[in-house]
Each structure stands twice: as C-alpha cells, then as structure tokens.
A and B are shown apart, each in its own frame.
Chain A
Amino acid sequence: MTNVPPTTIAPPEEVPPPPPVPALEMRGITKRYPGVVANDRIDLDVKPGEIHALLGENGAGKTTLMNILYGLARPDEGEILLDGKVVDIAGPSDAIARGISMVHQHFMLVPVLSVAENIILGEEITRAGGFLDRAAARDRIAKLAEQFGFDVDPDAQVAKLSVGQQQRVEILKALYRDTRILVLDEPTAVLTPQETDEIFLLLRRLAESGRSIIFISHKLYEVLAIADRITVIRRGRVVGERLPKATTEDDLAELMVGREVMLSVDRGESHPGAVVLAIDDLRVKDDRGREVVRGVSLQVRAGEILGIAGVAGNGQDELVEAIIGLRNVSGGTVTLAGQDVTSAAPRQMHDRGVAYVPADRHRYGLILSFSIADNLVLNRYNRPPFARGIVRNDAAVLEEATRAIGQYDIRTPSATIPAGTLSGGNQQKVVVAREFDRDLTLLVLDQPTRGLDVGSIEFIHRQIIAKRNASTAVLLVSAELDEILEVSDRIAVMYGGRLVGEMDARTADKNEVGLVMATGGRTAQASRGAAEDGAAGVSTGSGEPPA
C-alpha cells in the first residue's frame, strides 16, 4: 500500500515536502466533441496539499477537463490516476466516493433547509429504524467547522446566508464527505474583495491539512495570490506551467490568450458635456413585487462613464431594466436629453439613440437558435434595407452581418450558423456589434464582460471607451470592481437599492470601495466583522434588500 492515508493532517505551520506520488494525475486526456477537440492530450498533476490553479479563457477546455475528473464526461483517450493508481470514474457519485468534490459556480444548496441539513443531504446519518440522527450530524459539522475555522452556524437557514457564507457551506459539504481533491470553479466570481480574502485563507488551511485544491479561474491576480502552481490551458491544450513566484500577470495573460494583451486599457481623459441621462428618485419593483430600487437619483453627462459598483442583487439589474424600458417604474422619473422617458418602450429608447448590453445575454441579448446575421439586425429587422415593406431582405441582412463580423472581429466560420454555437466572448461581440454600431446618445451596460476571457474583455472595454470619446453618455453597471475602477470616470456604489457614496474613479481606493459595497458605507472604517454583517443581509436570490 503506497496510498497516502486520506485524512493525514500535516502540521499546520509548514507545508510538507511533496511526496513522490501525486494525489491526482491526469495523463494525456483527450476529449473530442463533433467538430472540436475540447481537450487535447492534457497532462495535469496535483500534489497532496497543493493549490493548483487551472487558468484559461472561457472555452479553453477547463470545464471539460473537470467534468471528466468528476465523472460527468468520459475521456476519449488518456487516464486518471489517484495516488498513482489508474482509476475509472464512472460518475459523480463514484467521484465523491473517491474523495473528489466540486464546488460549482452556482451553488447546489436547498435554500429552505438549514446548513446542517444541506451538508448531510445524501449522506444522512441514521439511527436505528432509519431516523435521522441530527445531533450526531451537527456535532460532526461543528467539529469540522472548528478545525478549519469556518464561521458558519449549522442551524442557520441557507436562504438567509450571504453568498460568501453559502460558498463556505459548499466547501464544508465537501469536507464532510472526506474530500481529498476539491475543485472550485470560479469561486470568487460572486464574492466581494473581503469575502475573497476570507475564502483564500480558508483554502490555504485546507491545503495545509493535506487536501489538494484545483482552483479554476481566469482572474490572473487571484491565481497569483493563491496558487502553488499554475497550469495554463488554451484551446484544449496545456500551453504552460508556472510558479507564481516566477511569473507575472502579463506573462500569464499572454500564455492564456496566445498573444500580448493590454490588461488595462488606457481610458484617457474624459470631457463631460451636457447632462444626457437624469434619474430622479427612481423606484422599481422586482418580479416578486418588492421594491428593490428605492429612490435612486443620478446624472450621466455626454462623454463620461458613470460606473455603478455593487454586489450583484442590490437592485442594479432592475435599475437598468427600468431605464431601458423593460421594467415598469413605480416612482420617480427618467429624463433623456431633457425629455421625460419614464417607462418608455424599448423601441422608443432605441430610436432615441439608447443602446443596452444586458447582464444576461442569453436572456435579453441574443436569440441563441437564430443565426448570427439575424441576431445582428434583431432591433432593425423591419427597417430598410433589411426589409422592404413586410418582406425581409436576406441579402442585405447577410451583407450587414459580414461587415459587422469583420469590424467587430467576431470569430465564426459563417454568418448563418446559430449564435448559440459561438463562445461567450464572441456572443457578446455580436451583442456589442449590434448595439454599438450607430451614433448613440446613451449607452447602458450591465455586466458587459461577465464570464468573458481576457481578450474579449479588453476588446469590449476599448469599444466602451471609444463610445465615451465620441460623446456618448455611458452608464456601466458591474459587480466586477476592477472593471469599474479601470473603465469608469466616476463611481457610485449601489447597496440595498440605493446609491451610497460617489467618488472619482481615478483616485478611488479598491479596498475602500469594496467595503462600501459590502456595508453600504455606513461604517466605512469599521472592522471586518461589520463587513460580514452587511454581506449577510444580501441574499443570493434576486436581491432581497437588506433591512
């Protein structure tokens, strides 16, 4: 038996020297889907107690590789070794039994159950007669939580926890199942900077206990901060392995994208003109009839970018949907270039030179089953030259599509394939091409780069700044604080349906803004504990505003 016992706890103060046998080894993994090689002879090894980052753009093959590890997909070639022994992972339950756990971006928790109930789900401890032994389960969870310094109450209802706490429940769930290899898929996408720091501390403790962690991300600075080793994947292949000490963000970006990338675009100076968008005391309800925008007032001038930062679910989506005419306003006014446009229809806003890039491009931005060409004219399909009377002119649509595909660098074999077959970045380029390609008075962007790779982000940021320089008023909403800081001219933070705090983007401090995002700015100088309280009030759903 050369096995490393699964629950060996290394002394916490020093990382044990790497044993000869990796905890996990994936050799020559190849997975082909019709028309694409998702994984091409990928080698990956993860040592016990190592945090191994898997870095790559969207569509690079990270998810496929992890699905193979988790038994959700079968490799066409290659083998998986656990502790040096070849294994055949039949499915997720087999993977879990072998000590592999995955924490998905979208949590798999039952909101109405308690933390303890969620953790034992599927792995219930029963007493004689098949009754649930809650006390035993609670004890075991409490012990685990204490061992790793989790700050989670086993009896709390999951629905009432903050996103960060829910994530910790997911990790606890994995630990409860004696996980040895923990895969985290973009774990920080939903967290504030403070929550990110906390989760990193926790991951470090887990690694010190001998568990291996695979950390999937496309955020370079995070990977550098947390990983012991970084494997970069591009187009289904491993293109490099780096140690954080011996690399830089620029180096990683270039590996990941395959060419040199400008990580931050030069936004230049803004020259604000007249007020284009003026919002006064705007109130908006969400689908469930709760007021989630509670009296927002703001102004955006021509030629400036107002960035609205905030943890997702604080009313930002409803705010932009109300501006754009997709959601009814329950109070207040929206004025565009001096004219009242409160509750105007989307097409009226379009005709007044307003463009919108939605947060959910699959829901509002694209019709995935329609061709790229049809998507590119989705808001003007009924106007010349795309239609003569009621008859569509396919030739004109195709011609326009070919032009836009060239100009906006949309990578596609043809204009007639369904938009759903494109990668996320290229899908977003289709939206951007359609929305940006005319003179605009106002541009509203909601999370325009969510889920995109570095190359696409760079492209879209450039386009936004170009619009700003062409005297368009830009309203940029993002939960990605770096994006707000890099692109905006002015920053406002949205918290609990209100705008709290406004600052100059060039002088704003990231940690300070992060704290305002988490607390609503009531206690900007308060301790970490206060930040936690604030975050705890923000639920994951569509944004229960903190009381």
Chain B
Amino acid sequence: MTGLRNALRQIWATMALPLLAIVMALVAGAVVIILSSALVPGHGFDPGLPLTAYKALFEGSLGTDNARVETLVQAAPLLLAALGIGLGFKAGLFNIGAQGQFLMGAIAAVAAAGALKGDGALVAIPLSLLAGCAAGAAWGLIPGFLKAVSGAHEVVTTIMLNFIALALLSFLVSGPLRLPKSPQPVTAPVSDAALPIFIGRDGHIGIILAFLAVPVVWFLLFRTTRGFEIRAVGANPDASRYAGMKPRRLIILTMTVAGLFAGLAGAGNILGINHQMSATFSTTVGFDAITVALLGRSHPIGIMLAALLFGGMRAGAALMQIKAGVPVELVDVVQSIILLFLVASPIVRRLFRLRGVKASLGTTDTMARTYGNEVIR
C-alpha cells in the first residue's frame, strides 16, 4: 500500500516539527525545574523533580473526570481564538489582535446579558453570544479594512486595538456598565445568559461550540470556494488577483471572521466561567492562541490538538504546584519554549536531520513575509 505509506509520510512531514518542539520544550522545562529548585535555600539538587512535576501536570489535566473537563474548559477559548488566527495565517495575515477581539467579545456579551436580564435563557444566551461575536468581528474588521484600503500593517493595527480594547474595558466596567453600589468596579452578573453546565463542575456548553467550530473551519478552508480563495491569497496574492480573486475583500473577510471566533471565545468565557466582569479582568488567551495556531500549523485539526495540549497544561498546572512545588508559571516557560523552537524551525530540523519534513511552517513564512512592505492592489 504505497497510498497508505505516502499518507503516513505526509502526516509525519507535517507533525514532526510540532512534536519535536513539544518534546524539546519539555526537556528544556525539566532543566529549568532542576536549576530553579536548586536555587531555593535549603533545597538540594533534585534530578527526579521534573518527573514528579510532569506526572502531576499529567494527572491534573487527564487524571480524573474533573481534570479532563477542566482541560476542555481551558482548551475551548484557545481553540476558538486560534482557529481565527490560523485562518488569518492561511490568508497571509498575522493577526496579533485576538486578545483585543477576545476582550471585546467578552464585554459585549456581558453588556448584552445585563440588558437581557429577565428575558429567559433561551433569548439571553444566543443574543449575548451573538453580541460577543459581533463585537469581536468588528474588532477584526477594523484592521482588515485599514489594511485593505491603506495597506496599514495588521500587526501594528491589531496591537494598537488590543490596547484600545483593554482601555475600553476598564472604562465601561468602571463607568457605564458598573454595577450600581458595588464596592469594586464590576459589571452586573450575566444572570439569564449564564451558559448551562453540561458536564463536570464547570463544563459549560461553550465548549461544544468551540469544538463544533473545528469542522466548520475545516469545511470553509478546504471545501468551499471562499476557503480556496483565502488560501490562494495567502499563498500568492498576485497570482490570485490575476485569477480574478479580490485580495482586499478577502483580507477584510478573513480578519472579520477571525475576530468573530475570538469574540465568541471571550463571550463563552464570560458567560460560562466568570459570569461577571471586573475592571481587572485579565487573560492571556489571545496571545497563547497565537502559539496554539502556530503549533497546529494553521490546520483546524492541528489547532484542536494544540489547544487540548495547552488547555491541559493550564488545567494541570495547579496540581503540579501542589504536588511538586513547581510554580504554575513553568507552564508559561514550556509554552514559550515551544514557540521559540517553532519559530526557529531550521535549528530543530538540522538538529534532528529531518529531511522529508516540510521546510517551513508556512505560518512562520507569513510572519517573516508580512513584516516586509508589500503592496496590496
């Protein structure tokens, strides 16, 4: 069966790099664990500590039913936001703005939920989620539009919009949306719009939406003409333009859809977990999702696996701290090292003499390329 062998080779060519990046990051993380624990006064050199820590991390993410649900809860927003970012990568866009889009989605959802108080869950939930989607989409449309009409680079504009979203959030939470008479600046609880729990302690239905988005994005990208156009424009805008596609419109469309997904992630988190927003609401989902999209090589399935991995690490970090005394921040270290190895893929490929493995991540090309000044026509 050469067909099967080719298929396997294809899968290896795609997955080798992310897998090696993960393994190497875990090894590097182990070194960090050993060195940092040795620095603690009275604590000796403990080469066995990483194993204890990783075991606890594993248990905390997959060991129990609750742990598994928590992994899903943590993975869901990463998955949604990363699907949007991955879509952008496919279109040759480097969307750093998932963070702002996520925040806008969350705040719009909480505002809608407040307004829809007393209308019942059947009305409040869908409308609040939609409000979140719309706000995120709007926050993606702005940089898309700016890029299409003026060539303003999306990396710059989305970073700016992240700050604007953050400032807007504190303004709204401490001003117009502030719960009257509350000692701290917080919004009203989402009440009717709170997402029902369907599994475990806090397994809200937003998780289902997130995982449903995987086949939706896959179908969009690989089965529709629009997805073909998005991929074509990302791979070669000039040839696409000559073939009759409209790169400007596709840029706006892609950024809007990306924002929509990130907005939905924000709405899902606020309606499913926090149930209320404070002025100090903080998250790193929008940024972590960039690493997830890169690790998943912009492919919906890959992104799903990467989101589960990152969700699992987030879920298990607490147990790791309790059992092994390794701070939860180690997870950030491991995630960052994964990103480092992904972006520096030539080093990994040389180290392991990967021959058939695809030369580039594709998405890192996007990163490199979009920093040049290209002319959009």
Q: Which residues of A contact B (CB under 8 A)?
A: 34, 287, 324, 326, 345-347, 350, 356, 358, 363-370, 374, 378-379, 381-382, 387, 390-392
8 Å CB contact of A374 from B223, B228, B375? B228
16 sample A-B contacts, Cβ–Cβ < 8 Å, listed by A number: A345-B244, A346-B241, A346-B244, A347-B244, A363-B236, A363-B239, A364-B238, A366-B236, A368-B236, A370-B235, A378-B239, A382-B228, A390-B226, A392-B223, A392-B225, A392-B228
CB distance from B215 to the nearest CB of A (A): 14
User: In the complex the two chains form, what is the Cα distance from A54 to B210 in whole Å?
Assistant: 60
Q: Size band of the B side of the interface? A: 20 to 34
151-205 of chain B: CB within 8 A of chain A: none
194-246 of chain B: CB within 8 A of chain A: 223-226, 228, 231-232, 235-236, 238-244
Indicate if B63 sits at the interface (CB-CB under 8 A). no
- Chain A residues, CB < 8 A from B235: 367-370
Q: Do the beta carbons of B224 and A365 come within 8 Å of each other?
A: no
- Chain A residues, CB < 8 A from B377: 326
Q: Do the beta carbons of B242 and A326 come within 8 Å of each other?
A: yes
CB distance from A383 to the nearest CB of B (A): 9
Q: Do the beta carbons of B243 and A346 come within 8 Å of each other?
A: yes
Determine the residue in chain B with the shortest Cβ distance to A388: B225
287-343 of chain B: CB within 8 A of chain A: none
- Chain B residues, CB < 8 A from A382: 225, 228
CB distance from A469 to the nearest CB of B (A): 26
Given A326-B242, A346-B241, A358-B242, A367-B226 contact (CB < 8 Å): no
User: In the complex the two chains form, what is the Cα distance from A34 to B231 in whole Å?
Assistant: 27
Indicate if B356 sits at the interface (CB-CB under 8 A). yes
Chain B CB within 10 A, most for which of A34, A366, A382: A382
- Chain A residues, CB < 8 A from B5: none
CB distance from A40 to the nearest CB of B (A): 20
CB distance from A443 to the nearest CB of B (A): 15
Indicate if B353 sits at the interface (CB-CB under 8 A). no
User: In the complex the two chains form, what is the Cα distance from A390 to B224 in whole Å?
Assistant: 5
Indicate if B43 sits at the interface (CB-CB under 8 A). no
- Beyond contacts A34-B356, A370-B232, A370-B235: 7 other A-B pairs, Cβ-Cβ < 8 A, are A358-B242, A364-B242, A367-B239, A378-B232, A379-B244, A382-B225, A390-B225
8 Å CB contact of A387 from B225, B236, B238, B241? B225
8 Å CB contact of A381 from B223, B228, B362, B375? B228
CB distance from B138 to the nearest CB of A (A): 24
User: In the complex the two chains form, what is the Cα distance from A378 to B223 in whole Å?
Assistant: 15
CB distance from A64 to the nearest CB of B (A): 17
- Chain A residues, CB < 8 A from B231: 370
8 Å CB contact of B225 from A345, A350, A368, A381? A381
CB distance from B121 to the nearest CB of A (A): 33
Determine the residue in chain B with the shortest Cβ distance to A345: B244
- Chain B residues, CB < 8 A from A326: 241-242, 377
Contact mask for chain B residues 236-275; partner A; CB cutoff 8 A; 1 contact, 0 none: 1011111110000000000000000000000000000000
Indicate if B355 sits at the interface (CB-CB under 8 A). yes
8 Å CB contact of A287 from B226, B236, B362, B375? B375
Contact mask for chain B residues 70-105; partner A; CB cutoff 8 A; 1 contact, 0 none: 000000000000000000000000000000000000
Given A367-B236, A369-B235, A370-B232, A324-B225 contact (CB < 8 Å): no
Determine the residue in chain A with the shortest Cβ distance to B225: A382
User: In the complex the two chains form, what is the Cα distance from A374 to B228 in whole Å?
Assistant: 9
- Chain A residues, CB < 8 A from B355: 34
CB distance from A127 to the nearest CB of B (A): 39
Q: Do the beta carbons of A378 and B243 come within 8 Å of each other?
A: yes
8 Å CB contact of B244 from A350, A365, A367, A391? A350
User: In the complex the two chains form, what is the Cα distance from A153 to B242 in whole Å?
Assistant: 43
User: In the complex the two chains form, what is the Cα distance from A324 to B239 in whole Å?
Assistant: 13
